[in-house]
Amino acid sequence: MQLKPGLRLFAILLGACLQSPHIAHAEDLVAPDRIGRIDAPKSFSFRVLTVHSNNNAQPKFAAEMAALYEKYAHLHPDWQVSIQLMSLQIPQEHARLLEQARSGTAPDCSALDSFEVPLFIRAGVLKPIDQYFSREEIDDLFPFIRPIISDAAGHIYAWWWTTDLRLLYRNTALVPDPPRTWQETKQAALAARRAADSDLEGLLFNGGRNETTTVDFLPQFWAQGGKLVDENGAAVFGQEPNRTYLLNAIAFYRDLIVSGASPARVASISNYDDLTAATIAGSAAMMVNGDWAMSQMQAAMKPEDFAKWAVSMLPGPTAEQRSTSSGGWTFVSFSKDPEKVKACMDLVREVYMGPATEVLRRLPTRQSEFDSPLYRSNFYLQIKQYLKLGQARPGLPIYTEISNRLQIAISEALSGTRTPEAAVDEAVDQVAKAAARYQ
Amino acid sequence: MTSVRVIGPEDDPPDGMRRARRRGRDDHPFWWLLPVALLLAIFYLYPVLEVVRISFTDATLLNSTYAYTLDSYRSVLADSALPRIWMATVIFVAGSVIGQTALGLLIALTLQAGFRRRLPGVRTVQVIVLATWIIPGVASAITWQLLLSEASYGFFNAMLRQVSLSPVAWLSDSRLAIWSATLANIWRGTALSMILLYAGLQTISPTLYEAAAVDGATAFQAFRYITLPRLGPALLVNIVIVSIFSLNTFELVMPLTGGGPGRSTEVLALAAYNAVFHDFNLAQGSVLAVLMLLINLGLTIVYWLASRGLR
C-alpha cells in the first residue's frame, strides 16, 4: 500500500514520538536537567549549584560529573532525578528555599550553604538524617562541622560534603617568605610594590558588601580570641573584649589601605573572581582567597607564572595567634516521603561523599578522604594542617544578621564613611534590635 | 422599495430577546473589560494589597506566625540608616532624570535635524541608542563594572592613565559611588527619553520654524521660544516616567555596587530587597515597598494630569 506524502510524514512523526522515550533512555541516562531513565517509575527533584553539577562551565568538570551521575543512574534504574540549578545569589536562593519549604514546595533534595543550615533547622523544615550515615562516618568529619549541622540533641540534619578554607596567596618572586603577622604582611606588600612597577597592588581581599567580606575578615577577629556569640547564642561581639578585637581587626584592614599596602578599591570588592582575575593578570602580589582559586589559577596561567605562587596560613596579630575560616556546602532533604529522602541520601553518598570532591578538586569534610592520592600533594597536605585551625561561622540563625551588619560596618570603615567605632556600634545596635526576630 | 416591519414586544420571539440582551452586553464596555480587570486584580492588585497587609505585621521568613502591629513602620521610620537611603535615592533619581532628559533631548534634536537634512547614518545612530535600552539591567551593570573597575583592566581609569591623569575611585569612594551608579543608569535610560521626546518633537508643526526663520530667529531663539514651550507636556511625561523607572531600579545597582561602600548606594528598592532577602524581614521590606508605592502613585497622578495636558 502506498501512503500519500502527507500521511507518510504524519506516520514518521508519530513513530518518532512514540519511540523517543526509548531512544532517550537508551542513549542518554544523564541530561542537563535529568539523571536516570526518562521513563523511570519514581522521581525526585534535586536542586544543586551549577558548579557542583554536570552543568559546570568547565567542560572537563561537567563531563566528570556527568560520568558520576551516570554511575548513579545505573545503580538506581527506578529513579529519575530532576535537576534544578541554583544560582550564586545565595541570600535570595535561600530565602526562596525557606519559603518553599514552609509551603511544602521545596525540592526533595537540595544543596544548602553550610552557614544557612542552622537557620533551616531552627525553622523546623528539616528532619534528622542520622540513620543514613554510620557513626564512623559522622565521627570522621572535621571538628568544626558537627556543631553546624546538628541540633542540641546531636542529631544531624544535613550532610556537609565539601569544605573550603581561606588562605594567603603570594607571588614568591615578590614575597619570598610567608608573612605571619599583620605587620609582616603590610611590610611585605609595601616591599613588593616598591620592587615592582607602580601599578602593582600589594594585598587584595574582599571588603565590599557580601558574605565573602565577613568570611575573609573573621579570622582576624578569631585569631585574637574574639567571639561573635556566647554559649547561649546571644550576640556578644559588641561587648569587651570582643569589641576591641573587632576594632583591632578593622584597624589592620584600614592600615593596609592608608599605608598603600592594599588599594582603596578593596572596599568595593565583594567576590573572589575579582581577586583571582587580578592575580592571573599579574597585578597583585598577594591575596586572600579560597583554596579553589589554586586550580583556577593553574588553568589560566602559564606554568612558569603559576609556579611562582604559594599559599600560607592567614596572618594574625602575632605569629602564634592565627586562624582561618571554613565554609562549604551541604545537602538536605525537604521531602516527607522516606523513600525520596533515602534516594536523596543515596545520591549524596554515591556521588558527593568523596567522588565529587575529587572530580571538582574541592576539599573533603572527612579526614579519611585525604588518604586519596589526589590529596597527597604538598598543597593539600598543607591545607589538611590548616583545616585543624579552621573555624566555621557560628551555627546560629542570628549569624546571618551579624554578618550583614558587619559587612556594612567594615565597608563603611574602609571607605572612610564612618569611624570604625561608630560603624561597629551601629552594627551592635542593629543586631540587638533584630535579635527578637531570631528568638 | 423595501418595507420595514416594526416588531412589537408581543411578537418578539425568545431568540430575538436573547440576541437583544447579548447585544446589550456587547455594547456595554463592562463585559469587555471584565477579563482584563480580573487579570489585573489577580496578578497586580492582590500582590499590592498583600504587601500593604504584610507591612502592618511583624512577619519574617523565620517564623510562620505573625501579629498585626505598627511596629514595622515605627522601626523603619526611626532607622538611623533611612536618611542615608533617602539621600542615595534622591541623588540617583534626580541625577537620572536630569541626565536622561538632557541627553535624550539632545539626541532627539540631533536625530530630528539629521532626518530633516536626510543625513546618512541617522537611522544607525537611532538603533545604537536604542540598543542600550534593550540590554537587561544586570548586563548593563556588568558592563559598567568593567568600565568603572579600579583594577588595572578598568576602562575609564586606563583612559585617564593614557592622558597622564590620576585614576579615580569610581566605586570605592563612598561619595562618588552613587554618582557612578547614576551615570550607568543615565546611559541605560537615555534611549527611553530620546523616544519620548522625539515623539514630542514630531507634534510641533514645521510651519512654526519656517515662520521663525522668516522673522530672522536664531536656532537658539527657535529652541527657546518654540521647541521648549511646545515640548512642555512631553518633557513632563518623560520626567515622571524616568522618575518611576529610576525609583524602581534595583537590578542595576545590586550587581554594580551591592549598595556599598557602606550604605552609600543603597537606594530604596535595594533596601527593600536587603530587608527581605538578607535580614529575612518581610514586614520591614513591605514597609519600604509601600513607601515606594506611595511615591510612584504620586508620580502616576502627575503623569495622568500631564497626559491630559498633552491631549
In a domain, residue A21? The reply is no
Considering only CB atoms, B62 lies closest to which of A278, A281, A397, namely A397
Which residues of chain A are within 8 Å of residue B75 when distances are taken between CB atoms? 433
In a domain, residue A15? The reply is no
Chain B: residue whose CA lies nearest to A200? B152
Residues A204 and A251 in one domain: yes
Read off the pLDDT band of A15 (50, 70, 90). low
Higher pLDDT, residue B3 or A287: A287
Which residues of chain B are within 8 Å of residue A199 when distances are taken between CB atoms? 152
> What is the per-residue pLDDT for A399?
87
Residues A319 and A335 in one domain: no
Residues A209 and A279 in one domain: yes
Name beta bridge partners: A156: A150
Chain A: residue whose CA lies nearest to B170? A265
Residues A313 and A225 in one domain: yes
CA-nearest of A404, A4, A313, A409 to B261 is A409
Q: Please report, for residues A175, A271, A285, B20, B266, the alpha-carbon distance to residue A205 in angstroms, rounded to integers and kept in the order given.
A: 17, 9, 12, 77, 22
Which residues of chain A are within 8 Å of residue B281 when distances are taken between CB atoms? 434, 437
CA-nearest of B158, B137, B136, B173 to B256 is B137
In a domain, residue A420? The reply is yes
Which residues of chain B are within 8 Å of residue A256 when distances are taken between CB atoms? none
Q: Across the interface, do B262 and A266 touch by the CB < 8 Å criterion?
A: no
In a domain, residue A16? The reply is no
Q: Could you give the CA distance from residue A296 to residue A169 in angstroms, rounded to a whole number? A: 13
Considering only CB atoms, A437 lies closest to which of B62, B174, B263, namely B62
Residue A422 cell numbers, joined: 561608630
Q: What is the CATH number of the domain that holds A347?
A: 3.40.190.10
Buried b / exposed e over B110-120, threshold 16 CB at 10 Å, is: bbbebeeeeee
Share of chain A above pLDDT 70, in %: 93
Read off the pLDDT band of A22 (50, 70, 90). very low
> What is the per-residue pLDDT for A1?
46
Residues A311 and A379 in one domain: no
> What is the per-residue pLDDT for B30?
80
Residues A190 and A234 in one domain: yes
- B184, B140 Cβ separation under 8 angstroms: yes
> What is the per-residue pLDDT for B61?
83
Residue A10 cell numbers, joined: 504524519
Q: Across the interface, do B152 and A277 touch by the CB < 8 Å criterion?
A: no
Nearest 10 degrees: Cα torsion A260, A262, A265, A270: -170
Nearest C-alpha of chain B: how many angstroms from A179?
Answer: 24
- Do the strands A79-86 and A42-49 form a parallel or antiparallel pair, or are they unpaired? parallel
Which residues of chain A are within 8 Å of residue B250 when distances are taken between CB atoms? none
Which residues of chain B are within 8 Å of residue A122 when distances are taken between CB atoms? 62
Residues A138 and A265 in one domain: no
Read off the pLDDT band of A92 (50, 70, 90). confident
> What is the per-residue pLDDT for A14?
54
- Whether B257 contacts chain A with CB within 8 A: yes
- Whether B284 contacts chain A with CB within 8 A: no
Q: Across the interface, do A415 and B279 touch by the CB < 8 Å criterion?
A: no
Considering only CB atoms, B80 lies closest to which of A412, A416, A426, namely A426
Which residues of chain B are within 8 Å of residue A97 when distances are taken between CB atoms? none
- Do the strands A34-35 and A79-86 form a parallel or antiparallel pair, or are they unpaired? antiparallel
Residues A69 and A130 in one domain: yes
Q: Please report, for residues A409, B97, B99, B131, B187, the alpha-carbon distance to residue B134 in angstroms, rounded to integers and kept in the order given.
A: 37, 19, 19, 5, 12
Q: Which of B144, B149, B152, B267 to mutate to test the interface with A (most CBs of A within 10 A)?
A: B152
Q: Across the interface, do A277 and B153 touch by the CB < 8 Å criterion?
A: yes
pLDDT in tens, chain B (311 residues): 444 444 444 555 566 666 666 666 666 778 888 888 899 888 889 999 999 999 999 998 887 788 999 999 999 999 888 999 999 999 999 999 999 999 999 999 999 888 888 888 888 888 888 888 888 888 888 899 889 988 877 899 999 988 988 889 999 898 999 999 999 999 999 999 999 999 999 999 989 999 999 999 998 999 999 999 999 888 988 998 999 999 999 889 988 888 889 899 999 999 999 898 888 889 999 999 999 999 999 988 887 887 776 55
In a domain, residue A104? The reply is yes
How many structural domains are present in chain A? Answer: 2
Q: Name the packing angle between helices B71-78 and B282-310 (round to 10°).
A: 80
Residues A190 and A276 in one domain: yes
Q: Across the interface, do B279 and A210 touch by the CB < 8 Å criterion?
A: no
What's the full length of chain B, in residues?
311
Owning domain of residue A303 = 166-323+394-438
Considering only CB atoms, A404 lies closest to which of B152, B172, B279, namely B279
Considering only CB atoms, A417 lies closest to which of B75, B150, B262, namely B262
Nearest C-alpha of chain B: how many angstroms from A342?
Answer: 27
- Span B32-52, pLDDT tens digits: 888 888 998 888 899 999 999
- Whether B166 contacts chain A with CB within 8 A: no
Catalogue the E-assigned strands of A143-291: 159-171, 201-204, 284-290
Q: Could you give the CA distance from residue B243 to residue B237 in angstroms, rounded to a whole number? A: 10
Residues A244 and A269 in one domain: yes
Name beta bridge partners: A45: A82
> What is the per-residue pLDDT for B12?
53
Residues A206 and A117 in one domain: no
**What CATH class does B79-310 carry?**
mainly alpha
Q: Across the interface, do B174 and A274 touch by the CB < 8 Å criterion?
A: no
Give me the sign of the Cα torsion angle A355, A356, A359, A365. Answer: negative
> What is the per-residue pLDDT for B20?
66
What's the full length of chain A, in residues?
439
Considering only CB atoms, A267 lies closest to which of B259, B261, B276, namely B261
Q: Across the interface, do B172 and A418 touch by the CB < 8 Å criterion?
A: no
Q: Please report, for residues A230, A237, A323, the alpha-carbon distance to residue A233 in angstroms, rounded to integers and kept in the order given.
A: 5, 11, 21
pLDDT at A105 over 60: yes
Read off the pLDDT band of A28 (50, 70, 90). confident
> Domain-by-domain residue ranges, chain B?
79-310
> Average pLDDT of A302-311?
95
Q: Does the interface ipTM go beyond 0.90? A: no
Q: Across the interface, do A98 and B280 touch by the CB < 8 Å criterion?
A: yes
CB atoms within 10 A of CB A115: 24
Which residues of chain A are within 8 Å of residue B150 when distances are taken between CB atoms? 263-265, 268
End of a domain among A351, A369, A388?
A388
Which residues of chain B are within 8 Å of residue A278 when distances are taken between CB atoms? 151-152
> What is the per-residue pLDDT for B129?
82
> What is the per-residue pLDDT for B1?
40
- Whether B177 contacts chain A with CB within 8 A: yes
Across chain A, what does the average pLDDT equal?
89
Q: Which of A24-28, A234-238, B119-123, B203-207 has the lowest mean pLDDT?
A: A24-28
In a domain, residue A378? The reply is yes
> Average pLDDT of A221-227?
95
Nearest C-alpha of chain B: how many angstroms from A411?
Answer: 5
Q: Which of A287-296, A412-421, B9-18, B171-180 has the lowest mean pLDDT?
A: B9-18
- Whether B138 contacts chain A with CB within 8 A: no
pLDDT at A91 over 90: no
Residues A222 and A278 in one domain: yes
Give me the sign of the Cα torsion angle A361, A50, A104, B51. Answer: positive
Considering only CB atoms, A418 lies closest to which of B62, B262, B279, namely B262
Considering only CB atoms, B261 lies closest to which of A123, A412, A426, namely A412
